[in-house]
Amino acid sequence: MKLFIPLVLLIVLTGCSSHSVKLGKKCTKIAGDNTYEKSFVWIINNENLENFDQKINKKNCVANGENL
């Protein structure tokens, strides 16, 4: 519980800055060395918000073999 409250506050307060928070399982494409990133919480700079969904999305998770 001591860890949960600061994490929730971090997510809420991040929305007030120059970043946005996206929730939900999303993945990047597989890189040349067969690695990729996946997360349920993504903190994105507002300047890159338009390109985010093109590069990091649920379709990449399915293509990488992840279960949704």
**Cα distance between residue 33 and residue 67, in whole Å:** 21
Q: What's the pLDDT score for residue 5?
A: 87
pTM over 0.75: no
- Condensed to tens digits (0 to 9), the pLDDT of residues 20-46 reads 888 899 999 999 999 999 999 898 888
CA distances from 63 to 29, 35, 36, 40 (A): 8, 13, 11, 17
pLDDT surpasses 90 at 50: no
Q: What percent of the chain lies above the pLDDT cut of 70?
A: 94
Matching residue, tokens 């949960």: 4
Q: What's the pLDDT score for residue 36?
A: 94
